[in-house]
């Protein structure tokens, strides 16, 4: 009988378990599963709730990558709690898919092209079982020029927006996404760009639209996602310059590289052409380290590739989970914009409409104070 674990030992065991779970399914299962007791299991449950990894953890259990350490015949403990959370998460996925089905019908009826992004696409196209990849909302990309028509079509289909635009013209020109909801509480992120800030601005969205997408059928509805190479690029952006993506996005990156669907060399070439390759390098590097994956040419590339200093500078400004990340994103966008567009962009950031401030529960004074605080923090 061992004594209670100290905090460092617990942290080490949790990190190891997270790494095994997140990397499970990317190679054959080990001869012996990693045994997880209820103490470490409790921490794993917290991680699952934050990173939405209940599906991966359930799959790792089923495939013998991990197992519950405990008395034989006792199937309680953290596994029971995980199963309940897993099923609840799956219900959320189905709700999000229903939202996507409705959105795709509305957009298609309005004659608008779309690309299904992130969870819905990745779960169906890049995982052996879609239950392994969980998600909480629906994300769809449309062309920037179609934003007004898309918002009209989606409003007619029962979607509404809680937040007024900073300025209508500003949103059409500079926004990354508009968040819409349905009366049942489900959320649709209507993207006009696959990333925000500096890298979202640098990215060549014209090339994305000119590249053939990949079809999938969800709930009897045919939809189109990005092609695999661009799904890898998007997974890298989600992993490195998006709020709260967690290890799930790194698993997407590793799965797309190792699964053979994506041509990672082509993804890198496209990223280099747009000037966003630092994001791809950092995402692949971090995926290989955090998931403890065996040597691979993509990882070797991520370690030795020379990185453009302006990209590195923009990358280092981004702090994951930063509460003021909208302002960090805005300053990144500003840096990527040509000088002639900067005044218009700044106008929307500094002086959003009254309706926008009201919908965010802010006063003009509070908004300015927050902006200055963030800019001051950025200078330090």
Partner 1 sequence: MTHADTSARSQVRWCRADDVLWRIGADRVLARVVGSDAVDLIGAAALVWVALDEPGTISEIRDRLADEDLNLEVPADLAVEAAVEMMQSSDLIRPDDRPDGRG
Q: Which is nearer to partner 1, 120 or 257 (CB)?
A: 120
From the CB of 90, what's the least distance to partner 1, in Å? 5
- Please report where in the chains the tokens 């959370």 appear, as a residue: 85
Residue 98 engages partner 1 in binding (rule: CB under 8 A): yes
State in angstroms the smallest separation of the CB of 89 from partner 1.
9
Q: Which is nearer to partner 1, 121 or 218 (CB)?
A: 218
The residue range among 41-49, 91-99, 136-144, 158-166 that interacts with partner 1, by the rule CB under 8 A, is 91-99
> Of the listed pieces 85-93, 110-118, 208-216, 237-245, which binds partner 1 according to CB under 8 A?
85-93
d(CA 50, CA 82): 13
Binding mask 196-235 for partner 1 (x = CB under 8 A): ----------------------xxxx--------------
Rounded least distance, CB 290 to partner 1, Å = 26
Site residues for partner 1, 306-335, by CB under 8 A, read: none
Residue closer to partner 1 by CB (options 220, 361) is 220
Contact flag: residue 130 with partner 1 (CB under 8 A) = yes
Q: Answer yes or no whether residue 185 interacts with partner 1 by CB under 8 A.
A: no
| Residues between 44 and 63 that touch partner 1 (CB under 8 A) | 58, 62
Applying CB under 8 A, what is the total number of residues that bind partner 1? 21
Name 188's bridge partners. 138, 180
Single residue of 94, 319, 346, 350 touching partner 1 by CB under 8 A: 94
Is residue 181 at the binding interface for partner 1, with CB under 8 A as the rule? Answer: no
Q: Which of 11, 30, 50, 129 binds partner 1 (CB under 8 A)?
A: 129
- 185 burial class (0-12, 13-18, 19+ CB within 10 angstroms)? exposed
Closer residue to partner 1 in complex, CB, 180/218: 218
Residues at the interface with partner 1 (CB under 8 A):
58, 62, 83, 86-87, 90-91, 93-95, 97-98, 101-102, 129-131, 218-221
């Amino acid at each position: 009988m061992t004594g209670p674990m100290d905090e460092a030992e617990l942290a080490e065991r949790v990190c190891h378990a997270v790494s095994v779970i997140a990397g499970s399914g990317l190679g054959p299962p080990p001869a012996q599963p990693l045994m997880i007791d209820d103490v470490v299991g409790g921490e794993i449950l917290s991680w699952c709730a934050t990173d939405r990894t209940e599906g991966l953890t359930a799959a790792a259990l089923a495939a013998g990558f991990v197992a519950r350490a405990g008395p034989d015949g006792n199937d309680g403990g953290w596994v029971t709690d995980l199963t309940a959370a897993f099923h609840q998460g799956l219900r959320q996925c189905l709700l999000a898919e229903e939202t996507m089905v409705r959105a795709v019908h509305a957009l298609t009826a309005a004659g608008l092209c779309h690309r299904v992004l992130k969870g819905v696409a990745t779960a169906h196209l890049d995982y052996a079982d879609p239950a392994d990849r969980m998600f909480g909302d629906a994300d769809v990309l449309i062309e920037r020029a179609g934003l007004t028509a898309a918002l009209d079509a989606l409003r007619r289909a029962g979607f509404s927006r809680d937040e007024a635009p900073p300025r209508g013209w500003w949103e059409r020109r500079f926004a990354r996404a508009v968040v819409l909801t349905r009366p049942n509480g489900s959320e649709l992120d209507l993207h006009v760009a696959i990333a925000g800030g500096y890298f979202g601005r640098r990215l060549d969205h014209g090339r994305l639209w000119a590249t053939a997408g990949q079809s999938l059928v969800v709930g009897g509805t045919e939809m189109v996602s990005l092609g695999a190479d661009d799904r890898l690029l998007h997974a890298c952006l989600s992993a490195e310059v998006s709020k709260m993506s967690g290890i799930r996005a790194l698993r997407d990156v590793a799965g797309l590289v190792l699964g053979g669907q994506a041509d990672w060399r082509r993804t890198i070439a496209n990223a280099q052409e747009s000037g966003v390759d630092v994001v791809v390098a950092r995402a692949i590097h971090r995926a290989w380290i955090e998931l403890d994956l065996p040597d691979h040419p993509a990882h070797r590339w991520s370690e030795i590739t020379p990185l453009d200093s302006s990209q590195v500078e923009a990358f280092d400004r981004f702090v994951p989970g930063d509460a003021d990340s909208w302002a960090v994103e805005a300053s990144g966008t500003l840096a990527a914009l040509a000088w002639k567009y900067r005044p218009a962009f700044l106008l929307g950031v500094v002086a959003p409409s009254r309706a926008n401030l009201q919908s965010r529960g802010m006063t003009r004074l509070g908004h300015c104070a927050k902006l200055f605080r963030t800019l001051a923090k950025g200078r330090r």
